[in-house]
Amino acid sequence: MNQHHHFIIYKPQGVISQFTTNQKKGYKKKLLGELYNFPEGTMAIGRLDENSEGLLLLTTEGKVSEQVRSRKVEKEYYIQVDGEITTDAIEQLKIGVEIGIKGEKYTTLPCKAFKLNKAPNFTPSTKKIRDDRHGPTSWVSITVTEGKFRQVRKMSAAVGYATLRLVRVRVGKIKLNNMTAGDVIKVDHLKYD
């Protein structure tokens, strides 16, 4: 019986959620394999785009990957948005908003959303995020059960607030906790439910 391997990582900004890529010569993107010596056959469960960061689960077991990506497992994100988000915008997010997916209109499923009272204490961003001299920002928690391409960013834009920073903090019961960007934790099982 093959022994499967599972990992909980904090994907930093600027790293793509892949192990290989068809890169043009001279064009170098950072890949997950640069964070740790993962065993052959390791795959990311879902993705975080290059500019997003936070909790990413990796496994060599395809069945686990499928289960975690299902709509039964919640994914929670903390996003820093441009401006002081309103209660009305939060309510719109909860109900579902219309976004574009591959050129088609799509209405997101109802989700959980609330404004955070204070900024979370994450590893400082590697990307320059404008500061308060250019107006206020606010932090919002959004918990979804679906994972369309750049969905959370599109949702915040749909209610009038551009996402400046996006950090996934939870997948099911697995939380980012005190991990910092680039951390990799090898675990025996992914206890997400």
Tens of pLDDT, residue by residue over 71-85, are: 899 999 999 999 999
**Rounded Cα–Cα distance for residues 72 and 69 (Å):** 8
Q: What is the pLDDT at residue 61?
A: 93
**Homologous superfamily of the 75-171 domain (CATH):** Alpha-L RNA-binding motif (3.30.70.1560)
Fill in the DSSP letter of residue 91.
H
- Report the half-sphere exposure of 177 (CA within 13 A, side-chain side): 8
User: Domain limits of the chain?
Assistant: 6-70+174-187, 75-171
The answer to whether 126 touches 15, Cβ cutoff 8 Å, is no
pLDDT on residue 1: 47
Burial label for 57, CB within 10 Å (0-12, 13-18, 19+), is: buried
Matching fold, domains 6-70+174-187 and 75-171: yes
pLDDT of residue 123 exceeding 90, the answer is: no
pLDDT at 88: 98
What kind of fold does domain 6-70+174-187 have according to CATH? Alpha-Beta Plaits (3.30.70)
Establish whether 88 is a catalytic residue: no
What residue type is 52 in one-letter code? S
pLDDT one-digit tens code per residue, 132-180: 667 899 999 999 999 888 999 999 999 999 999 999 999 999 999 999 9
- Per-residue tokens: 7: 């990992």
Assessment of whether the complete model's pTM goes beyond 0.85: yes
Catalytic residue among 49, 131, 183, 188: 49
Count Cβ atoms within 10 A of the Cβ of residue 94 and give its class: 0-12 exposed, 13-18 middle, 19 or more buried: middle
Q: What is the mean pLDDT of the chain?
A: 91
